[in-house]
Amino acid sequence: MPRHSSNKAIYTKRQQRLRALLKNARKKADITQVQLSRRLGFHDSFVTKYELGQRQLGVFEFLDVTKALKLDPAEVLEKVKD
């Protein structure tokens, strides 16, 4: 498995696919970034930052986001794997 610095890891193709998939799911659910951030109990900019690639989601944050968007986390991961 290739090693990445923490900054470069945010910009991998898998991370880009994950961000796009989660953003599209949020928009399809007609939920704003602020609404989703608040639903998750995070600062208003939380969703904006991960959607723009300014931060990565931790495992438990990812699970919370997929739950809030009514997505199956295993299906999401299947779609973004290499």
In tens, the pLDDT along 45-62 reads 999 999 999 999 999 999
* Mean pLDDT, range 31-38, rounded to an integer: 98
70 pLDDT above the threshold of 80:
yes
Q: Cβ(57)–Cβ(65) under 8 Å?
A: yes
Which domains are present in the chain? Answer: 9-80 (1.10.260.40)
pTM of the model: 0.85
Name the more confident of 12 and 25: 25
